[in-house]
Structure 1
Amino acid sequence: MARPKKKDPDAHGSTDAGILGLPDQLVNLIDPALPKTSQVYAIMRRAIVNLHLAPGSNVNEKLICDQLGISRTPLREAILQLQSENLVLIIPNSGTFVSKIDLQSVFDGQLVRDALELKVVRLAASRMTPQFERALDFNLHQQKRMAADFDYDEFYLLDEAFHAMICEFGASAYIWKIINGAKAQLDRVRRMSYPLVSHLDLVLNEHIAVVDGLKQREPEVAAAAMKIHIDRVFTVIRRLITERRDYFAADASELLDGFVNSR
């Protein structure tokens, strides 16, 4: 790969935006014709997962309201949704803070993916169509472009779309909603791993292997490729904890040892 045209501000994409507010690329996403709370929630979740709002940082509610051109009400409602996913911590008389990454929640999300995505990819392989093959190929083409540009945020959106497409084709949008609701903490770990050397290439090649299994109409081949892919988190998480200990909850190392030993 060529050297990156775009870089995250540090090795894992974190910035000081948790103090300053939202990054510019998220500020103009509000559509006045749509309900505000759901949009603010999606923007805030994206900023947290992408580490623009870093773990432990303060959520500057007034500045975010000013940036988005909204009142406090939709932001507070969105924050309550984020709190239910353990993405923010509300401390009375102190403020709202982005939660540290909770490893138990990471593992819970991983178990949900393991249970549902492997089943769904088998179903998708058994009902493949030329139209869906073309949709997957287009997504992979876009992933390759973003990987070549080291555009981590856009690659993440395509990564999410890839898994959502397979879930919705193999089962339903409801199944993806269940998975998505369970993996908020896991998503932050996935996003942190992107800047690691050659990691985007690795993720892309694993996606290609999944698609190859789907195109072969071989459910077990596709499921085996998906299993390798979603288990990739265990090969990087210890390194991430070592390099950015301040991003993780205090019991992260202990929980990791216990979980790895039980597998």
Structure 2
Amino acid sequence: MKVNRTQFALDRTRQVAPQILEILRSRILSMDLTPTTVLSRIALQSEFNVSQTPVRDALIRLEEEGLVEVYPQYATVVAKIDIDHAAQAHFLRLSIELEAVRRLTLESPAETAQVLERILRQQEAVASPDQFDQFDSFDRDFHRALFERSGILGLWATVRRLSVHLDRLRRLNLPMPGKLETVLADHRAIVEAVRSGEPERAVAAMRKHLSGTLSIIDFICEQYPDFVQR
């Protein structure tokens, strides 16, 4: 699928290649650019009103992240979702976030619950199909808060970088009936478990939440067979 867009205004006071990278990455993660979409370098140069160099640099970075595949002298296409990579990212997140929520429940239950509750209320306010981007943004804020309060915020960027395939799977899952409500219920259960000061309860709530997408991976693959790679 080829995507045609009007010219996009970049901030010319900053380097443009990183901006193009962030824009294209966001479009891929949000499924605005779906797997196998052809990315025309000429069209991108026209859209962003730039030379070929910043577009090339942005595409090289996306290839390194596993989000596009470059076929020299032929085409650049959005990569399919790699199920194996998604499973590995899920394992990493479980390892980190289960321990983080356990420690926070033991060490600062009231303060942590207050922070998470505030983000949850913001997420509840945008829980509608026409606000998926905002809903997803608050979802990331909810989990980022665990890293920050645990003193491991330096790991957040690494986890985000390694979770791109998992994030795209989640985005396919998000519009499914009842998914928004399930996410909110899971977050509410985590907040209440943390506030209770019961670490095992908090760990169980987080494990259930993080395993939601991979638990229905076969269904997602059946619904979007052209989008995934197993």
Give yes or no for TM over 0.5. Answer: yes
Counterpart residue type for residue 215 of structure 1: R
Judging changes above 3 Å, is the alpha-carbon distance between structure 1 residues 68 and 104 closer, same or farther for their aligned structure 2 residues?
A: same
2:82 equivalent among 99, 102, 127:
102
Quick check: 2:6–2:47 contact (8 Å CA) kept in 1? no
Deviation at 1:195, TM superposition (A): 0.8
Give the stretch that moved more between structures: 122-131 or 33-42. Answer: 122-131
Deviations 1:173-206 (A, max 9, x none): 2111221121110110001001101011001111
| Structure 2 residue aligned with 1:20 | 3
Q: Which amino acid aligns with 1:210?
A: I
Q: Which runs of 5+ in 2 are unaligned?
A: none
Q: What residue in structure 2 maps to residue 9 of structure 1? A: none
**Distance in 2, Cα, partners of 1:35 & 1:216:** 47
1:233 CA drift (Å): 1.4
The one of 75, 78, 93 equivalent to 1:113 is 93
SS for the counterpart of 1:246 is coil
The more displaced of 195-204 and 73-82 is 73-82
Paired residue type of 1:80:
I
SS at match of 2:69: strand
Q: Give the CA deviation at 1:171.
A: 2.8
Quick one: percent identity of the two aligned structures? Answer: 27
Q: State the match for 1:93 in structure 2.
A: 73
Residues 23/172 of structure 1: CA separation in 2 closer, same or farther (3 Å cut): farther
Query: Does the 8 Å contact 2:116/2:142 carry over to 1?
Result: yes
Give unpaired runs (5+ residues) of structure 1.
1-15, 253-263
Please report the TM-score for the alignment, with normalisation by the length of structure 2.
0.90
Q: Given the superposition, is the C-alpha separation of residues 97 and 113 from structure 1 closer, same or farther in structure 2, using an over 3 Å criterion?
A: same
Does structure 2 retain, via aligned residues, the 8 Å contact 1:21–1:59? no
2:210 aligned with 1:227: no
Residue 50 (structure 1) aligned with residue 33 (structure 2)? no
For the residues of structure 2 that align with 1:22 and 1:109, how far apart are their CA atoms? 32
Structure 1 residue 144 and structure 2 residue 127: aligned?
A: no
Partner of 2:193: 213
Q: What TM-score do you get using the length of structure 1 for normalisation?
A: 0.79
Give the equivalent residue in structure 1 for 2:41. 61
Count of equivalent residues: 230
Give the letter aligned to residue 65 of structure 2: E
Q: Deviations over 1:131-187 (max 9, x none)?
A: 654432232122112213541122111111211121121132211122112111011
Partner of 2:150: 170
Going from structure 1 to structure 2, the CA distance change for 1:68 and 1:210 (only over 3 Å counts) comes to farther
Partner of 2:58: 78
Letter in 1 for 2:190: V
Residue 228 of structure 2 is matched in structure 1 by 248
Question: What residue in structure 2 maps to residue 128 of structure 1?
Answer: 108
Q: Which residue of 1 aligns with 2:180?
A: 200
Residue 66 (structure 1) shift: 2.8
CA displacement, residues 38-80 of structure 1 (integer Å, 9 cap, x when unaligned): 3322221111011111101101222233333433322222222
2:113–2:192: 8 Å Cα contact kept in structure 1?
no
- What is the letter of the counterpart of residue 20 of structure 1? V
- Name the amino acid aligned to 1:58: V
The separation in 2 between residues aligned to 1:238 and 1:67, in whole angstroms, is 37
